[in-house]
Amino acid sequence: MLGRHAKTGVLVAVLLVLAVEGALLIRYYDRYYGSDAALDAASIKSSDDAEATDPDGRADNKEVSFVHRATDANGRGNYTYLGDPRTNGDPDAVVLIAPSPGRGAQAGADYGHYVGVWYEPGKKKWGIFNQDMAAVPAGSAFEVVVPPADQGFVHRAALPNTVGNTTYLDNSLTNGESDAVLSVAQNWNPGGGGGVYNDHPVGVLYDQDVEKWFVYNEDGAPMPNGAAFDVAVSGAAEPAR
């Protein structure tokens, strides 16, 4: 999409500023698959796998998870297309992503780029991209999660909900739910069309005064009007043991 489709995105943290890239998505996996520190390969499918968990497409009440690997065939400069039937043709999907360096060509190395998602209406496919415009290396691996339809939503930053470097969520899944576990990924163009860059790391926090969660730029940069985020809510956090 370089030159034709600008995009922005960052997958970020959950609860009280999880600064390690990918920790947010791991928290989400831990909620559904157990407390293992690493994602279990047996619980996820590759997007290149011919046999999808749901071969007829995503059922609205089911969570989808798989590993996507960038290749020369699915890559285009700073982005790589997902080819999974459970996300193809669904511009309104909530798609969460995180680099998975342990699975990729540079195992154990920090991926080194902020990533996001965008939707290509012409191809009817989602893509993962580097917001700094650097090329996605072939062999790079990404964890992908599409939550159940009733556990995710899209948020857009706008003047009424944005203050400085923060934008407040306003959804029944999150309002008043201080113990909820949120997962967030930047979505350049929800539904297709044009989008907005936000070239900054982001996190999520709960504001007790107004009983709402907010997404914020961790480096203090102003939140741009129109920046969009895919949000998944896995429910109240498990009590400490």
* DSSP category for residue 11: B
Half-sphere exposure at residue 228, Cβ-oriented, CA atoms within 13 angstroms: 23
C-alpha 139: how far from chain center: 20
- CA–CA distance, 29 with 114 (Å, rounded to integer): 20
Phi, psi (rounded to 5 degrees) for 51: -100, 100
DSSP state, 43? G
CB 95 within 8 A of CB 146: yes
Q: Where are the beta strands (DSSP E) in the chain?
A: 45-46, 64-69, 75-76, 79-81, 96-99, 115-120, 125-130, 141-146, 152-156, 162-163, 166-168, 180-186, 202-207, 212-217, 228-236
pTM, full prediction: 0.72
Q: Where are the domains of the chain?
A: 154-236
Q: What is the pLDDT of residue 106?
A: 57
Cα–Cα dist 78/96, whole Å: 18
Q: What are 197's two structure tokens? A: 């860059």
Q: What is the per-residue pLDDT across 87-133, written as a single tens digit (0 to 9) for each?
A: 899 999 999 999 987 765 555 568 888 889 999 999 999 999 998 88
Chain-centroid distance, C-alpha 123: 20
Residue 203 pLDDT:
95
Q: What is the pLDDT of residue 152?
A: 96
pLDDT by 10-residue block (mean), the chain, 241 residues: 38 33 38 32 33 44 88 94 90 92 64 90 94 90 93 97 98 97 95 87 96 96 96 68 44
Number of residues that this document lists for the chain: 241
**Contact by Cβ (8 Å): 85, 46:** no
Q: Give the per-residue pLDDT at 109.
A: 66
Residues 6+ apart with CB under 8 A from 79: 1, 7, 118, 127, 128, 129, 130, 136
Separation between Cα atoms, residue 132 and residue 6, nearest integer Å = 11
